[in-house]
Structure 1
Amino acid sequence: MEQFLQVGVISSTHGIRGEVKVFPTTDDPARFKKLKKVLLDTGKERLKLEIQSVKFFKQFVIVKFRGIDNINDIEKYKGKSLMVPREDAVQLEEDEYYIADLIGMEVYTDGGRFGTLKDVMETGANEVYIIDSDEHGEVLVPAIHDCILDVDVEKQTMKIRLMDGLI
């Protein structure tokens, strides 16, 4: 399991005083109001940043970090991820999973190994699991109870039932 979970990606700067536009990768962008700190994944290291202020603009979260007061100090981090430790992540409901925990899972049907879950597509109604199958190529499976029979995060396995017409 991943120790850190992504909550957003810095998409661009906002103004000249060090604010950034963050594209939220969390189900609840309002959670940024409750966050005190995040980890900026630079690719080489994780920098601990304290959140000074948060506001919202269209689909973005505008974030100001304490101690970063100039556009030049933050501009180099465009495209970089903002992470939180797992213990600071939003608590999940029953049958909910962090996407980071699902990616890479081995997927099985009654017939045996089917493939590997390679991505999760978020749609309006429900999520769709993108499974890379050795036999069928890329298969899209809706994340609904009729299709997803069991998920074991510890063992990194998922059991599915394929609906007619999926493959």
Structure 2
Amino acid sequence: MSSGDEYLSVGKVVSPFGIEGEIAVVPTTDWPERFYDLKHVFIEQQGGPPKEVSVDGCRFHKGRVLLKLRGVENRSEAEKMKGLDLWIPKCEAVPLPEGHCFVGEIIGRRVYTTSGEPLGSVRAILRTGSNDVYVTKTDRGEEILIPATREVVQSLDPRVEVRLLPGLLEACRVPAKRGRKVAHGRRAKRGEEDMLGTEKTCDKVRRMSVKGKARRK
């Protein structure tokens, strides 16, 4: 599946857990608590349509989601799922608050200043400890690292509009010959995620996730 399909990734299976068929999942959603109410997920099948699998149980353990999927009854069967993405239809995505967009909707979007000056297109989104950073490629091949804060990003739809604070453009510009290699479809560097097609969102300030207590269905 890709970001252009009608699905969003909510997690990636990293390992089996225990001997009864549970799988350990790293969330790729800004709402990991959504797993508590997840009734089913879709798993991509090579050469065929995605397979729908019912979710029979969910709990959290050391920052990961432990899922019990119907039909996965032992560790050997759970081991076969390692590395797979878990998907949901876009129509079942968590409703976004006003001013939010999914990451896949921002990548490629044109960036302008509030005065109408074109700056380039969003090439990638980096996640730091405090705020997102929009890696924007100019028409001259330079990169501008725009901090996604309320003071800077004024609008995300239908285009990204930013208010340039004094000295910001010069401080955030990266010359073309020193351009960064941004992760898309490969293992990302620390602080850099390939988030296309995931249930992760963009806002003027990144929404912080809240983990709930464990609960079984």
Quick check: TM above 0.5? Answer: yes
Which residue of 51, 60, 63 maps to 2:64?
Answer: 60
2:76 is paired with a residue whose SS is helix
Q: Counterpart of 1:120? A: 125
TM-score normalized with structure 2 length = 0.66
Partner of 2:195: none
Residue aligning to 2:17: 14
Q: State the match for 1:32 in structure 2.
A: 35
Q: State the SS of the aligned residue for 1:31.
A: helix
Which position in structure 1 is the counterpart of 2:160? 158
The structure-2 alpha-carbon separation of the partners of 1:141 and 1:41, relative to structure 1 and needing over 3 Å to count, comes to: farther
Matches of residues 106-145 of structure 1 in structure 2 within 5 Å? 106-109=110-113, 110-112=116-118, 114-135=119-140, 137-145=142-150
The one-letter code sitting in structure 1 at the alignment partner of 2:89 is P
Contact 1:7/1:24, CA 8 A, preserved across alignment: yes
Distance across 2 between alignment mates of 1:137 and 1:43:
38
Q: Which runs of 5+ in 2 are unaligned?
A: 174-217
Larger relative contact order (Cα-Cα within 8 Å, sequence gap ≥ 6): 2
Following TM superposition, by how much is the alpha carbon of 1:21 offset from its aligned partner in structure 2, in angstroms? 0.8
For residues 76 and 106 of structure 1, the distance between their equivalents in structure 2, rounded to whole angstroms, comes to 41
Secondary structure of 1:77's aligned partner: coil
Indicate the percent of aligned positions where both proteins have the same amino acid: 34
Whole-Å Cα distance in 2 between the matches of residues 41 and 137 of structure 1? Answer: 37
Q: Which residue of 1 aligns with 2:178?
A: none
Q: Is the CA contact (8 Å cut-off) linking 2:15 and 2:78 kept in structure 1?
A: no
Query: Amino acid of the residue matched to residue 54 of structure 1?
Result: C
Quick check: 2:99–2:155 contact (8 Å CA) kept in 1? no
Q: Could you report, residue by residue, the CA deviation over 1:90-143 in whole angstroms, capped at 9, with x for unpaired residues?
A: 11111111112222323334332x333232223333222222334353332122
Aligned length: 163
Aligned counterparts of 1:88 and 1:134: Cα–Cα separation in 2: 37
Asked if the contact 1:132/1:139 (under 8 Å) is kept, the reply is yes
Whether the aligned pair in 1 keeps the contact of 2:41 and 2:88 (CA below 8 Å) is yes
> Counterpart in 1 of 2:211?
none
